[in-house]
Chain A
Amino acid sequence: MIDLFTDITEIANKDGNKVYDIFFGPNHPGMHGNFGYVVDMIGHSIAKARVNAGLLHRGFEKIMETNLWHQNLSLIPRICVVDPDPNEAAYCGAIEKIMGLEIPERAKFIRTITLEMSRMTSHLMGMGSVGGATGLYTVMYLMLADRDRLLDMFEWLTGGRIYHIYNIPGGVRRDLPKGWKEKLYGLMDFFESKLKEYDEILYRHPIIHKRLKGVGVITAEQAKKWGITGPNLRATGVKFDTRKAYPYAAYDQLEFDIPTEKEGDALARANLVRAEFEVTISIIRQALDKLPEGDVNIKLGNPLKFKVPEGEAYAKVESSKGEYGYYIVSTGGIKPYRVSVRGPSLPAGLFLCHKHLPGMRIDDVALWMNTLQICAPDFDR
């Protein structure tokens, strides 16, 4: 610890205090999660940013190689805390691709519903944290309170509020409990009625427009060549969605729009999340309407002896943050040979920061991170 303090003092003395370093780290109120940037400051502008990752590194990819296929199911949701279901769906999807399994129709629809619910929880957190970073704390508390209603539904369905461990290779773990479907219909009505309130307190608020406009602009060309995906790509005007382009679960049987924005700045990204939230409500309603009867999983025998045939596959999912991908290599054993995770916020969190942060004011960093939905666990895994 002594070393660290000496370092800070030395840094502070550098250049007669004209350039100083700030550790924008886990203890900073604007930072979500155990991740940080070290920024060289001149006045209140950033001159240079360095990445300070590794605080969260748990070696997930290595641990997965030593666990059974089914044991990993309890590990992978932890790669993204706010939006855990895409991990499960991508992992199971890759396994099913290697095995050549077609999961039952009902399981596909239930997966779609839980994926979209997970997207809603993540977007509520995202919208709320934009409010938190601009000082509109009411928004944050309101959104988190509403998010709890979805977590209650998850708890009822899966037994877990945050980590659901619900998808398994071959389908989902259990069928919908009695009365759950009706309750979810009611909850969708509730969220639809809430949208007006969200607009009033957040999206029409002059502070939001003043603070978010023109922050962190990305053009469509840049987004494509720098690996930026998901809402951040769509906010630049590119009408692309993995759910349509490379369908998984039951998305090919549902009808929905892909909302886009043109400007590519923080305000466009925030507005896009709002538009996607509305689309998600309609997807969940459709999936509930069309939910077929039948089995919810294929029985694949004893999970302790479960083996995946030799092969490899890449499965990707459109998460709330962008392309979530799992590349899985199996050599036919009871454990995976290699699992590689493509986290959606890696290009933004570790690469785009060097392009965007220099020149930005320190008070915009939290907003920039929130609107790009940088979630450290998915690259620092």
Chain B
Amino acid sequence: MKTSDILNKTKELFPYIATELFEEQQGRVYVCSDHFLNVLVYLRNSSFVHLANIFAIDWIEEKEFELNYNLWSYDHNSSIIVKVRIPREKPEIPTVLDLWEHGQVYEQEIHEFFGIEFAGNPDLSPLFLHNWKEIPPMRKDFDTEEYSKRAFDVGEREGAK
């Protein structure tokens, strides 16, 4: 089955989603956070078993986080990225652990770097950062330069302007 057909079929089943065919083997599904699990369950059961990764994008001007679920179907050789937007003030989304066990690591990582809560995930302990007390570092409003000056007490470098 071609990616375009899969997208059309998904659109028929879930009329409230938007779809986009990026290239022959790569498509995108835009869905709201209330319904995204239904779409993921459907895609998971229709051969999209491989979750390549989950990643977040901070759209600070639109005051939204975008979560991306990067799926691949071994049967149809097709890649579909499910995109869900959630408000920045209350960043919470249900977990996908019941669908993909290894989503645990990605959710932990996103929680650590974006501060997004995954409702239903029992373990969101930090993986990489040690004693982090600032705002999550991958957010766009985190200023790396200002932080390193404050944390490491670095003055102006000689000759640097």
In chain B, what residue has the closest Cβ to A352? B102
Contact B128 A57 (CB under 8 A): yes
In chain B, what residue has the closest Cβ to A224? B49
Selected from B58, B105, B137, B142, the residue in CB contact (under 8 A) with A347 is B105
Count A interface residues, CB 8 Å: 36
Contact B129 A54 (CB under 8 A): yes
Whether a CB of chain A sits under 8 angstroms from the CB of B25 is yes
Nearest-neighbour CB distance to chain A for B84, whole angstroms, equals 15
Max chain B Cβ within 10 angstroms of own Cβ: one of A57, A59, A227, A325:
A227
Whether a CB of chain B sits under 8 angstroms from the CB of A243 is no
Q: Pick from A4-12, A338-346, A358-366 the stretch touching chain B.
A: A338-346
Q: Pick from B4-12, B33-41, B74-82, B149-157 the stretch touching chain A.
A: B74-82
Contact A325 B23 (CB under 8 A): no
A352 and B128 CA atoms in complex are apart in Å by 17
Max chain B Cβ within 10 angstroms of own Cβ: one of A316, A323, A340:
A340
| Chain A at the B interface: SS class | mixed
Whether a CB of chain A sits under 8 angstroms from the CB of B18 is no
Contact A314 B74 (CB under 8 A): no
Contact A314 B70 (CB under 8 A): yes
In chain A, what residue has the closest Cβ to B130? A54
8 A Cβ contacts from A39-81 to B: 51, 53-54, 57, 59, 61-63, 66
B22 to chain A: which residues have CB within 8 Å? 97, 313
A238 and B75 CA atoms in complex are apart in Å by 11
Contact B55 A227 (CB under 8 A): no
Contact A66 B144 (CB under 8 A): yes
Nearest-neighbour CB distance to chain B for A129, whole angstroms, equals 24
Selected from B55, B81, B105, B129, the residue in CB contact (under 8 A) with A57 is B129
Nearest-neighbour CB distance to chain A for B136, whole angstroms, equals 11
In chain B, what residue has the closest Cβ to A350? B105
Whether a CB of chain B sits under 8 angstroms from the CB of A329 is yes
Tell whether A338 pairs with B57 under 8 Å between CB atoms, given A97-B23, A246-B25, A325-B52.
yes
| Chain B at the A interface: SS class | mixed
A62 and B52 CA atoms in complex are apart in Å by 21
Whether a CB of chain A sits under 8 angstroms from the CB of B43 is no
Contact B105 A325 (CB under 8 A): no
Nearest-neighbour CB distance to chain A for B10, whole angstroms, equals 18
Contact B70 A342 (CB under 8 A): yes
Whether a CB of chain A sits under 8 angstroms from the CB of B96 is no
Whether a CB of chain B sits under 8 angstroms from the CB of A18 is no
B23 to chain A: which residues have CB within 8 Å? 97
B144 to chain A: which residues have CB within 8 Å? 59, 62-63, 66
12 further contact pairs, Cβ within 8 A, besides A54-B128, A62-B137, A337-B57: A51-B127, A53-B128, A54-B130, A63-B144, A225-B49, A227-B51, A238-B74, A325-B52, A327-B55, A340-B53, A351-B101, A351-B104
Contact B138 A62 (CB under 8 A): yes
Whether a CB of chain A sits under 8 angstroms from the CB of B26 is yes
Whether a CB of chain B sits under 8 angstroms from the CB of A240 is yes
Contact B53 A351 (CB under 8 A): no
Nearest-neighbour CB distance to chain B for A149, whole angstroms, equals 34
17 pairs of residues in contact across A and B, judged by CB atoms under 8 Å:
A54-B127, A62-B138, A224-B74, A226-B102, A240-B74, A246-B79, A325-B53, A325-B70, A327-B55, A327-B81, A337-B57, A338-B58, A340-B57, A342-B52, A342-B70, A346-B53, A350-B127
Contact A227 B102 (CB under 8 A): yes
Interface 0/1 of A345-381, CB less than 8 Å to B: 0110011100000000000000000000000000010
